[in-house]
Amino acid sequence: MPAPDILLRPCAAGDLEPLECWAATGNSRTHEQRFARQLAGTSTYFLATLREGPDAFVGSAEIRWDGCLDEAVPRCPEINGLQVWPEELQSRGIGTAMLDLLEQKARERGHQMLGLGVTEDGPKRLYLRRGYEDTGIDYVDRYTWIDEHLIEHHVADPARWMAKRLRTPAGAP
């Protein structure tokens, strides 16, 4: 199957309602939280569409320019929450195409490294194939979600840090 032709752009305020219809996050308001970090300048919330159908989202991912907050993890921007949705669109190369474009965005801002945390073997295979190295660094990925009764659930998932060098430092052989 040919690689899909996708477009990647930053989230805008007008996307929040359609985003919630596309991939509902309920009381957690995850799209809003990602957009708030973008407005604060610490991240960019990227949305993917197919070039042939730019009105429908097919994926999303945040680059947190301030990196992963865990002190065990080296400082570099982090890809957070990469997802391709709906599920039937997965395994067609959209995630791979998104990674290429996310790396390009990080390069354009002058970054030499890009990292991400993995908690499952499936996505890990994809990242290894795309040149992300298993750093051997384990940490705890912490996040909170809020259920329909507005009760907060604090999650702590064991994660492995993976990182990719985006370019050779100037002056290196």
Ligand X SMILES: CC(C)(COP(=O)(O)OP(=O)(O)OC[C@H]1O[C@@H](n2cnc3c(N)ncnc32)[C@H](O)[C@@H]1OP(=O)(O)O)[C@@H](O)C(=O)NCCC(=O)NCCS
Residues that bind ligand X (CB under 6 A): 1, 3, 82-84, 90-96, 118, 122-123, 125-126
In this structure, are strands 133-146 and 113-118 parallel, antiparallel, or unpaired?
unpaired
**Would you say 26 or 39 has its CB closer to ligand X?**
26
Q: Any idea how long the chain is?
A: 173
In angstroms, the CA 158 to CA 140 distance is 5
The residue assigned the tokens 């996050």 is 25
CB closer to ligand X out of 57 and 150 = 57
Minimal distance in Å, beta carbon 66 to ligand X? 19
Residue 166, judged by CB atoms within 10 A of its CB (0-12, 13-18, 19+), counts as middle
- Output the smallest distance, CB 168 to ligand X, in A: 26
- Output 24 or 39, the one with its CB closest to ligand X: 24
Residue position matching structure tokens 């945390």: 117
Q: Which residue is nearest to ligand X (CB)?
A: 95
Instruction: Tell me whether residue 91 or residue 104 sits nearer to ligand X (CB atom).
Output: 91
Rounded to a whole number of angstroms, the minimum distance from the CB of residue 6 to ligand X is 10
Output the smallest distance, CB 145 to ligand X, in A: 15
3-state SS track over 93-118:
CHHHHHHHHHHHHHHHCCCCEEEEEE
